[in-house]
Amino acid sequence: MGNTNKIAWAVSVIPKIKMDLVNGVNQEKEVLNENIRKKLGGSGELIAANNDIQINTSSTSASNGVDNAGSTEGTSGWTNGTYGYVTSNATTIAVNVGTDFVVIKNSGFKYNSSATNNISTTAGTSGTDMVKVGIDGSVTTNVSGDAVILAELDIGEAIVIPRPASTYGLLLTSSSSHMACEVTVFGTNVGD
């Protein structure tokens, strides 16, 4: 029986430049940025404290650290390899000093609380159906306004936040349609 979360991750960025077609000179192509000339990124591995194997498991309330815009919108979290998606319409994610790692992904499909696992078969539109990831000002000290946006995730994109090391709230909001989002929280702020 496992007794510790051990999380490995990697980030890889290829800084490209798109060159337009120039008759008699070159075809349209992509090349590495001349000033950078290499891939960017890094990797890491996090080993949680002993006996910390908590993640956000399926719950109809915020007891798992993720409030899916209210329990009326269905079950969220992981159960037996299956995920109950959350909506990009005002879902909040609790983060505190015991949180080890957070992964947020725009599934690319619209949210539907009536569908199996809250995810519809209707795909979103790239460049339009973005998910905003922000700090929730209503539950965070020294932050004003509804949210401070950290990133916008397009179809299939994800963000990882290792060792948040503070107590605040994350908030998912939509640029357009309400998208089905996969949120995984590793650490001590979530229920079993």
For the ranges 55-59, 139-143, 177-181, the one whose mean pLDDT is highest: 177-181
The residue type of 11 is V
Q: In this structure, what token pair is assigned to residue 164?
A: 């948040």
Chain mean pLDDT for the chain: 86
Tokens of 74: 């269905």
- For residue 92, with 0-12 CB atoms within 10 Å meaning exposed, 13-18 middle and 19 or more buried, which class applies? buried
> For position 169, what pLDDT does the model report?
82
Q: Residue 93: pLDDT above 60? A: yes
**Residues 75, 134 within the same domain:** yes
Q: pLDDT tens across 46-88, in order?
A: 988 777 788 888 877 777 788 887 655 667 889 899 999 999 9
- If asked whether residues 15 and 72 sit together in one domain, one would say no
User: Which H helix or E strand runs over 147?
Assistant: strand 147-153
Q: What is the CATH number for 135? A: 2.60.290
Q: Within this chain, do residues 42 and 136 fall inside the same structural domain, yes or no? A: no
Residue 127 has pLDDT above 60, yes or no: yes
| The pLDDT of residue 191 | 46
pTM, two decimals, is 0.88
Q: Which domain holds residue 15?
A: 6-47
* Pair 84, 23 in one domain: no
Domain count of the fold of the chain: 2
Dist. CA 67–CA 174, nearest whole Å: 16
From residue 176, alpha-carbon distances to 22, 30, 54, 122 in Å are 37, 30, 33, 14
- Which stretch of 31-45, 57-71, 151-165, 170-184 has the lowest confidence by average pLDDT? 57-71
Q: Both 66 and 145 in a single domain? A: yes
Q: Could you tell me if residue 106 is inside a domain? A: yes
